[in-house]
Structures are given as structure tokens and as C-alpha cells.
Structure 1
Amino acid sequence: MSGRKFHVSYSASGATRLMHGLGFSPQVPARQVAERDEQAVTAWKELRPQASVRTSRPMSTSRPAHEALT
């Protein structure tokens, strides 16, 4: 991505150091519970459809660094 957008290239370790220097950290997705009740999830999504759809937000300096590129 950095090469196409900014016309620069980094090795994997160089990109890691750069991102760490900018305040980013590796993110690990939260685990999904084994006993997930799909019917309850579906019912909840029907009640709150906006909660199941991710919308893009304008960039802000007050957002955490790990959200800045989403």
C-alpha cells in the first residue's frame, strides 16, 4: 500500500519500525465465543441495523492511531 500511495517502499521490518514509531501496535482480533447464539445475534441486528454496518468516518487527530487507516 505505501508504495502505491506514497511512491516509497519498505521492508517488512522497516514498515514495522515505522508503524511502531507512529504509535501503531499489532492488533489481535477478539475471540468469538463458542456458545454464540446466532438467533439472538440476528434478532439484535434486526432491531439495530446500523450496528451491523460499518460506515466510514472522516479522519480525526483525536482517534487512536490503530483506527486511522480504517
Structure 2
Amino acid sequence: MRIVADYDRCEGHGLCAEQAPVVFDLDDEGDLVHHFEGQELPDELEAEGQRAIDSCPVAALRKA
């Protein structure tokens, strides 16, 4: 699974980082950091990745 982040839509709520801390983080300015940008998630992180997508209140994350 690959996850695409819409950085313009992201408001920095951080719910994705709570659900998938290995995949997502927020930097010091509150901007999204996607550690697997442009890459397939490892199989063991797919469930966390899906929870992160589902938790985003502004739909800034989607499967590609």
C-alpha cells in the first residue's frame, strides 16, 4: 500500500502520527512529515497506515 499526503489540505491535527507514528510525524512547525513518501509501506505497517487515513479529519491522506 502506498499513501499519498495532500500537504496543502493537511491542518496538522496529528491524528495520523498518533495512529501510525512510524509512518507520520509532525515537525517543529506542525507540518506533516511522511516517512514513506513515494514508497510502499511495509506489510507490517499497512494496518497502521489505514488507521491514519481513516483518522484524518480533513481527508489529507489517501491510498494510491
Q: TM-score range by the shorter chain?
A: under 0.3
* Structure (1 or 2) with the larger CA radius of gyration: 1
- TM-score, length basis structure 2: 0.24
Higher helix proportion? 1
- Higher RCO (Cα < 8 Å, 6 or more apart): 2
Higher strand proportion? 2
